[in-house]
Structure 1
Amino acid sequence: MTYPTTEPTTELRVPPGSPVTLEARHEPEPGLSRWLWLVKWLLAIPHYLILAFLWLAFLLVTVIAFVAILFTTHYPRTLFDFNVGVLRWTWRVAYYGYGSLATDRYPPFTLADVPDYPAHLEIARPGPLSRGLVLVKWWLLVLPQSVVTGFFIGGPNAAGGLTGVLALYAGVALLFTGRYPHGMYDLNIGLHRWVARVTAYAALMTDVYPPFRLDQGPQEQ
């Protein structure tokens, strides 16, 4: 069985009403190593260390953006671009590591989008944001979604929840069959897509409430 591939692109399609786009490109068989996933925890350590500091900065930037939105209704462009970059970097590492195990290409050390890398994330920059929503969406309105997505990812590296379980299953399948199960792949990407939408909402990057919807597959529908 082979999987469809798409050509690298720098423009991600944003479905109507969704400011967050998370997409991936499946490695064609036999593109994935049977055994490399066993040592990716070691290979990804430099990324984990950097991401720990980037996420501290992400939280600080979000607090600053909160104040800016409260007084101006706008999320400062520089701060917005930085936080998008952190989410983008995190997604690439999760896709390589134990959030998905879906590529053997080592993630680049950059906040920018990398067109030829198989994992992409983009968030459309919003216009004026609601002063009222900024007071409650990050802790109250997002609470039901946080319960759901917490079960999906289980932790900051997306390796302890349902996504991690699916990745482990895929790793074992790779070890014994050399194939990444197609259904597991589609479900895993759908879970990460849901988490990305909730994270963007909680981080004040959009006023569009994330849908309780699982959009599976490598590309946005």
Structure 2
Amino acid sequence: MTISAPETDPRRLRMSGLHMFLLIAGVLGAAGSHRLLGDIDLLGWGIGALAASVALILFGAVGLGRSIRSTPIAPDGYPTRLEGQLDPALSRGMWLVKWLLAFPHYIVLAILWAAFPIVVLASGLAILFTGRYPASLFEFVVGVLRWNWRVVFYATGVLATDQYPPFTLARTDFPATFDVAYPDRLSRWKVLVKSWLLALPHLIIVGILAGLLWVFSDGPGVGGLVGLLVFIAALILLFTGVYNSGLFNLVMGIHRWIYRVYSYTSLLRDDYPPFRLDQGPLEPAYR
């Protein structure tokens, strides 16, 4: 069984280096502007530096999203699609060092997650006035979640492949993939309450499944129940050389729930996440 995925133009696998540089500059500028904002004599300079940094972040995100845009998915079923293929030849002990091998990804993801709330907030303002999610920003937000999912699948939250994740926001042939169908229209009023009020029941459940840190941090966490299950699966793999398929299916179901909620709170869709565990490597509609 293989993961079905939309065809991707090879030219879209490489992100725009210029726009990544602008995004990094914006994040660093925003981080440094707080010193100016803390000095009343330099407050005007601080506000100007922060505004310029936000502009750089948004310009970088738009360019990155445009550089990876490809044929949109047309899902049959729920509009988010999280999948992952268990490697049948996993190393027994490589999971002990994957967290270290993935360190370069953590650095890039830290920058992307720092820009993430600014991009989502700007997109929310656009939805409020136009009813549409800016396409390039949509691609960027989905791309960050996609990149995060690959690293989680490899190094922290699933440990189901020994293939090293690619450094790109774009779709690839990596054995873990994430996509969200682009919405034609979005509710203007829901943008004001989706992320905190409407999503509250799911946030409570996800806080149990993935740890409370998930609710108060950037990026889906790997603690809570799912962290315990992955640790048990890793120990079984260490001593038997086999990743328990039942645990893998359950872990995939939990992450599928988490990423559906994350897509909803990131304003990507108006479709309310279902209260269920869709277990297994593939989305139900593609099995």
Question: Does the alignment reach a TM-score above 0.5?
Answer: yes
Give the Cα–Cα distance (whole angstroms) in 2 for the partners of residues 190 and 7 of structure 1: 16
2:222 to 141, 147, 159: 159
1:45 to 103, 122, 136: 103
What SS class does the counterpart of residue 120 from structure 1 fall into? strand
Shift of 1:165: 1.1
Give the Cα–Cα distance (whole angstroms) in 2 for the partners of residues 214 and 57 of structure 1: 30
Give the Cα–Cα distance (whole angstroms) in 1 for the partners of residues 111 and 3 of structure 2: 33
1:176 to 239, 245, 259: 239
Is residue 10 from structure 1 mapped to residue 67 from structure 2 by the alignment?
Answer: no
2:79 to 16, 19, 29: 19
Q: Assess, with a 3 A threshold, how the Cα gap between structure 1 residues 148 and 7 changes in structure 2: closer, same or farther.
A: closer
Is residue 90 from structure 1 mapped to residue 151 from structure 2 by the alignment?
Answer: no
Give the Cα–Cα distance (whole angstroms) in 2 for the partners of residues 132 and 157 of structure 1: 26
How many residue pairs match? The answer is 213
Give the Cα–Cα distance (whole angstroms) in 2 for the partners of residues 199 and 55 of structure 1: 13
The structure that has the greater radius of gyration is 2
Judge conservation of contact 2:87–2:160 (CA < 8 Å) in 1. yes
Deviations 1:82-118 (A, max 9, x none): 0000000010000001200111111111000112x11
With the length of structure 1 as denominator, give the TM-score of the two structures: 0.92
Q: Assess, with a 3 A threshold, how the Cα gap between structure 1 residues 157 and 149 changes in structure 2: closer, same or farther.
A: closer
With the length of structure 2 as denominator, give the TM-score of the two structures: 0.71
Shift of 1:220: 0.9
Give the Cα–Cα distance (whole angstroms) in 1 for the partners of residues 155 and 241 of structure 2: 17
Q: Which residue identity lines up with residue 200 of structure 2 in the other structure?
A: L
Q: How does 1:37-76 map onto structure 2 within 5 Å?
A: 37-76=95-134
Give the Cα–Cα distance (whole angstroms) in 1 for the partners of residues 121 and 4 of structure 2: 35
Q: Assess, with a 3 A threshold, how the Cα gap between structure 1 residues 7 and 14 changes in structure 2: closer, same or farther.
A: closer
Q: Which moved more, 1:64-73 or 1:146-155?
A: 146-155
- What is aligned with 1:215? 278
Give the Cα–Cα distance (whole angstroms) in 2 for the partners of residues 171 and 38 of structure 1: 9
Q: Assess, with a 3 A threshold, how the Cα gap between structure 1 residues 204 and 7 changes in structure 2: closer, same or farther.
A: closer
Is residue 118 from structure 1 mapped to residue 175 from structure 2 by the alignment?
Answer: yes
Q: How does 1:119-138 map onto structure 2 within 5 Å?
A: 119-138=176-195
List gaps (5 residues or longer) in structure 2. Answer: 8-72
Give the Cα–Cα distance (whole angstroms) in 1 for the partners of residues 192 and 244 of structure 2: 43
Shift of 1:13: 6.9
Give the Cα–Cα distance (whole angstroms) in 2 for the partners of residues 194 and 107 of structure 1: 22
Give the Cα–Cα distance (whole angstroms) in 1 for the partners of residues 191 and 250 of structure 2: 31
Give the Cα–Cα distance (whole angstroms) in 1 for the partners of residues 3 and 141 of structure 2: 26
RCO higher in 1 or 2 (8 Å CA, sep ≥ 6)? 1
Deviations 1:169-213 (A, max 9, x none): 111011100000010000000001001110011011000000101
Judge conservation of contact 1:99–1:157 (CA < 8 Å) in 2. no
Give the Cα–Cα distance (whole angstroms) in 1 for the partners of residues 76 and 136 of structure 2: 24
Q: Which residue identity lines up with residue 53 of structure 1 in the other structure?
A: I
List gaps (5 residues or longer) in structure 1. Answer: none
